[in-house]
Structure 1
Amino acid sequence: MTKRVLKTSLALAISAASLQSLAGGFAINEQSVSNMGTAYAGRSSSADDASTVFGNPAGMARLKREQVSGGVSLIYAQTEIDNASGSFAGSNDGDMVPFIGAPMAYYVKPLDDNWSFGLGLYVPFGLVTDYESDFQGRYYGDRSEVRVITLQPTLSYRFNEQLSIGFGPTINRIDGELTSAIKNPLPGAADGKVKIKGDDTALGYNLGVLFEVTPQTRFGLTYHSKVDYRLKGDTQVSGPGFVIGSSAGTYDASLELTTPESVDFSVTHALDANWNLYAGSSWTRWSRLEEIRAENRGVGGLLAGSLSSIAEPQNWHDTWAHALGLAYALNPQWTLRAGVAVDQSPTNNADRSPRIPTGDRNIFSLGAAWSPNADMTIDLAYSYLKEDDTQIDHVSASKGAYSATYKNTAHGLGAQVTYRF
């Protein structure tokens, strides 16, 4: 096993730890089921329930009663891999994303006519990908599991009937585990494996402004800050391809990572007593992710002194997402929702990895809210996501060539209960 082979494999595995949590095509978007029904159009201006703690903390000023909202969104992703070819044999089943869930919980309490307090717990990023053991592109990615969980205490202040602001610090916990196969250069010898594990807790904030132009129309603007992480964990190198005196073992690993800031702007307009129109756009500064730089300490054997710093280019670009939605109050108990959205991918053709084979996507959503009484609302929503076909095309001296076309779709189903005291 050469230094170059293992060094590149470790770099890619560590890079994927942040790529999975940041990927535009796989970032968790489900922090509110009531917003999910309109494809998240109006997320920063609707302020319909306690989930506005995330959507726009200024929206808490519109909630006149103490309330809790909680729910879960289930995500089922499907991938077809076509036209695959490479230097080594293997399968391309494409069933690498298991069924996952994203929970959420919020609490809002008006303190007086001006001040409100809120608390939110949600999942902004997360993904599990687990290819089959003989996946043809296994040297570029095998298993990935990354989660970010956020706790957000929040305050809002209402200046007058038109203007409100809100602010909340975010406490963010990230953890992940990545594995990659390592090609053994000896003919017929079994592959090795590298596993990266790490975690960190870091602070950010969520800031929002809500302006009610008229009783029928309001604008919302929300800023989610960047978050600086320094993941610490270990690198485990193992497998039949490693012998005594080589680099098999466990080593300290660290990775500095900054998740990008985003800005969400939306408008909510009541067309009449029954119809509400929503429109919104969000911008995310993915261009912060120019490269991933990782450090390993205590590496011995063949890798001694060769992994003090590893850098892998990513060259992501800033993205926009746009959405339109409608809600219709069928009667005092039922509200029906629908929405469409388009969302750009931050990846590029040259650097796209099998770990994040995401492309530009279109989203179609339906939702319904049932209020059996004035104290309770049950929200249900369904979303269908379809991405543009994307191309993976890599050539490496240590891992060979692998190219394929990925066709990604996903189904989301959410349920949320809001109770008012």
Structure 2
Amino acid sequence: MKSKFLAFLGSAMLTAGVAQAGGFQANLQGQKQIGMGHTGTGLALDHSSIFFNPGALAHLRQNGIQLGVSALSAKIAYREPSPGFSEAMTDNPISTPFQVYASFGKEESPLRYGIGVYTPYGSSVNWGRNWQGRFGLNELTLKTIFIQPTISYRISDKLGFGAGFVYAIGNVNLQRSIPLQNANYFESGVELDGATSGFGYNLGVYFKPSEKLSFGLTYRSKVEMEIEGGDVTFSLPNSPVVTSQFQATKFDAKLPLPANITLGIGFKPTEALTIAVDVQRVQWSAYKSLRFDYNAPVRGENFTEGSRNYEDVFIYRVGAQYQLSDILTLRAGAYYDKSPVQAGYLTPETPDADSRGVSAGLTLALSEKVDLDASFLYINKKERTDAANLSGGVAGTFKSVAYIPGVGINYKF
């Protein structure tokens, strides 16, 4: 029982840090790009190049500020393996990933400066306290905010380089039931809550050999999100025999977020039509295991270490936009995101499987200085069954979908 409890605790905290990316990765860093399948590395669309390709930022000629927000509604269904067939469904609150970008520079200057504030990881999962996997998870909330000051230099009309420094902050809150003999399971539980921070960088090069063709290459570094002195709170029966087994009040951990390499291509067959293709490599193989240290014993142990053995994966994206008039631009796109989670390592926080995403969007020019963007993204993950015998997860079949409308506003000056 002790080893099972520790396995659940370590597995849950690990997924809190990284499965949001492999599960519902928050590909919501720009409303125009969302509408095009989240492509944009090989394009200089707007100030969200701060995220997509800092090298393209200096090819913008106007200063501006843009704000955007999405409403992420995700549902996860669970089916228990037979015998003893039963089902469960999450009751997740709507998450609101956002992005804020601003850039400025003289019109003829080769230098452009910018800053981005965006949320690349963040979601909520709520299974409740009455489902079959309650000893793995009741509820999880993950919030992260990346702050990225950026500088971009245009060597010529065909070539640009850029770099951004990333400071990341966030919070993780996880709750789950504890299996105790001769106790009310629904009243026994643990809550882990901790603030996180980390550092990274974003590098990009943009090359436009002709008016019809452009290329982009970016590298976003791994970010180690560190938790120091996170709170451990137990809800236990009033029994010295039980409480003496759960003495920890604080924990430390590192939650790594993966490095990404992306190659993007932009093609303009006509003045009105733009086609984009991105291929993204997510370096999940860094996640072999993760350790959590406690300030006092939890059932006789002062740390947990869970194996994950994630694999590097590719994400394939394609998108297009068509300028219907001076006022209206339409967009559509799709992507395929392969899961990095191997068989035996599936967990209920955001059960991961290969993802298919389709999207649409538009821009409405309200005036010469103000544009309104809108997008919609639908994510459908393949149904996946796992015995969960390697990572302390919950055996069974999971199916996930997400619906994500978004809106943004751009002000040019």
How high is the TM-score relative to the length of structure 1? 0.91
CA positional deviation for 1:81 = 2.4
Q: Kindly provide the CA deviation profile for residues 42-75 of structure 1, in whole angstroms up to 9, marking residues without a partner as x.
A: x112221111111111111121111001010111
Specify the alignment match of 2:172 in structure 1: 176
Q: Secondary structure at the match of 2:310?
A: coil
Q: Label 1:241 to 1:358 Cα distance change in 2 as closer, same or farther (>3 A).
A: farther
Equivalent residue pairs, number: 409
Q: Kindly provide the CA deviation profile for residues 107-143 of structure 1, in whole angstroms up to 9, marking residues without a partner as x.
A: 0102452100001000010111111221111112221
Q: What one-letter code is carried by the residue in structure 1 that aligns with 2:406?
A: G
CA positional deviation for 1:3 = 4.1
Q: Label 1:243 to 1:8 Cα distance change in 2 as closer, same or farther (>3 A).
A: farther
- Structure 2: runs of 5+ lacking an equivalent: none
Q: Does 1:288 align with 2:279?
A: no
Kept after mapping to 2: 8 A contact 1:123/1:148: yes
Specify the alignment match of 2:56 in structure 1: 59
Q: 1:160 aligns with which of 156, 162, 166?
A: 156
Greater shift in the superposed pair: 123-132 or 77-86? 77-86
The percent of aligned pairs where both chains have the same amino acid is 24
Q: 2:103 aligns with which of 84, 108, 117?
A: 108
Q: State how far apart, in whole Å, the 2-side matches of 1:413 and 1:189 are.
A: 38
Specify the alignment match of 1:279 in structure 2: 277
Q: How does 1:336-351 map to 2 (within 5 A)?
A: 336-351=330-345
Q: Kindly provide the CA deviation profile for residues 303-359 of structure 1, in whole angstroms up to 9, marking residues without a partner as x.
A: 3xx323311111111110111111111111111111111111111220101112121
Q: How does 1:123-134 map to 2 (within 5 A)?
A: 123-134=119-130
Specify the alignment match of 2:409 in structure 1: 417
CA positional deviation for 1:289 = 0.7
Specify the alignment match of 1:360 in structure 2: 354
Kept after mapping to 2: 8 A contact 1:13/1:180: no
Q: Secondary structure at the match of 2:197?
A: strand
Q: 1:329 aligns with which of 320, 323, 338?
A: 323
Specify the alignment match of 1:15 in structure 2: 14
- Considering only aligned residues, what root-mean-square deviation do their CA atoms show, in Å? 2.2
Q: State how far apart, in whole Å, the 2-side matches of 1:311 and 1:248 are.
A: 18
Q: 1:97 aligns with which of 72, 92, 99?
A: 92
Q: Kindly provide the CA deviation profile for residues 20-52 of structure 1, in whole angstroms up to 9, marking residues without a partner as x.
A: 44x4121211010010111112x1122211111
Q: What one-letter code is carried by the residue in structure 2 that aligns with 1:121?
A: V
Specify the alignment match of 1:370 in structure 2: 364
Q: State how far apart, in whole Å, the 1-side matches of 2:80 and 2:162 are.
A: 50
Q: Does 1:269 align with 2:267?
A: yes
Q: Secondary structure at the match of 1:209?
A: strand
Q: State how far apart, in whole Å, the 2-side matches of 1:29 and 1:196 are.
A: 27
Q: What one-letter code is carried by the residue in structure 1 that aligns with 2:95?
A: I
Specify the alignment match of 1:147 in structure 2: 143
Q: Does 1:73 align with 2:70?
A: yes
Q: Label 1:137 to 1:218 Cα distance change in 2 as closer, same or farther (>3 A).
A: same
Greater shift in the superposed pair: 386-395 or 329-338? 386-395
Q: State how far apart, in whole Å, the 1-side matches of 2:382 and 2:336 are.
A: 11
CA positional deviation for 1:188 = 6.5
Greater shift in the superposed pair: 175-184 or 368-377? 368-377
CA positional deviation for 1:151 = 0.6
Q: Secondary structure at the match of 1:377?
A: strand
Kept after mapping to 1: 8 A contact 2:129/2:177: no
Q: What one-letter code is carried by the residue in structure 1 that aligns with 2:405?
A: L
Q: State how far apart, in whole Å, the 1-side matches of 2:216 and 2:412 are.
A: 23
Specify the alignment match of 2:204 in structure 1: 208
Q: Label 1:209 to 1:139 Cα distance change in 2 as closer, same or farther (>3 A).
A: same
Q: Secondary structure at the match of 2:41?
A: coil
Q: State how far apart, in whole Å, the 2-side matches of 1:19 and 1:54 are.
A: 19
CA positional deviation for 1:7 = 3.1
Q: Secondary structure at the match of 1:183?
A: coil
How high is the TM-score relative to the length of structure 2? 0.93
Kept after mapping to 2: 8 A contact 1:86/1:136: no
